[in-house]
């Protein structure tokens, strides 16, 4: 199943400038997911990181991985046709074993691949990898949880 950015926006609460996944190209609920982000020179972050030699920040790579993993968790728990009306939110719990192998620059397509290591209830542990042109640029183990959005709940 392929999810375009509109479907991703139905699942994730993130918006510009921090929606960091453009498309989901493959998903097997409860198992794995693949998606990508097209990195362009128009990203606001390149105004300061770094103006003379733009490098996409490692924290953005990890966040993009996490957002892709959030789509996997949401779809696994609520189905491919599910729509997040703001009732649910995915929170980071930990980032472990993060390694950055190569820089990412404008013009690169950053491919995220994540596999489920463990899942219990709303808690997810994922192994994430980021690639550019099939070359590993970053990896990390991510732990997150899907919870009720307390602010949305309070509004009801």
pLDDT tens-digit readout, 98-127:
999 999 999 999 999 999 999 999 999 999
Confidence (pLDDT) at 152? 64
* For residues 122-142, average pLDDT: 98
DSSP letter string, 72-93: HHHHHHH-TT----SSEEEEEE
Confidence (pLDDT) at 156? 62
Q: What is the pTM of this model?
A: 0.94
Among candidate residues 10, 25, 29, 49, the one labeled active-site is: 49
Six token digits for residue 156 = 């009801």
* For residues 80-106, average pLDDT: 92
CATH number of 5-155: 3.10.129.10, 3.40.50.300, 2.60.40.2240, 3.40.50.12280?
Answer: 3.10.129.10
Six token digits for residue 110 = 């950053």
21 — pLDDT class (breaks 50, 70, 90): very high
3-class state of residue 71 by DSSP: helix
Positive/negative CA dihedral, 4, 34, 147, 138: negative
User: Is 49 in the active site?
Assistant: yes
Query: Tens of pLDDT along 23-70?
Result: 999 999 999 999 999 999 999 999 999 989 999 999 999 999 999 999
Torsion-angle region of 79 (φ positive above 0: left; ψ -120 to 50: alpha; else: beta): left
Q: Which residue has the higher pLDDT, 136 or 90?
A: 136
């Amino acid at each position: 199943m392929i999810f375009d950015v509109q479907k991703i926006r139905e699942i994730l609460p993130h918006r510009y400038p921090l929606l960091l996944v453009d498309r989901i190209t493959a998903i097997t609920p409860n198992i794995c997911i693949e998606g990508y982000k097209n990195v362009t020179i128009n990203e606001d972050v390149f105004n300061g990181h770094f103006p003379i030699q733009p490098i996409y920040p490692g924290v953005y790579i990890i966040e993009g991985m996490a957002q892709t993993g959030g789509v996997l968790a949401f779809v696994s728990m609520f189905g491919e046709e599910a729509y997040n009306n703001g009732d649910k939110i995915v929170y980071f719990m930990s980032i472990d074993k993060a390694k950055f192998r190569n820089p990412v620059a404008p013009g690169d397509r950053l491919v995220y691949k994540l596999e489920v290591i463990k899942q219990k209830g709303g808690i997810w542990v994922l192994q994430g990898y980021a690639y550019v042109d099939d070359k590993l640029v970053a990896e990390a183990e991510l732990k997150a949880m899907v919870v009720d959005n307390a602010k949305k709940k309070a509004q009801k």
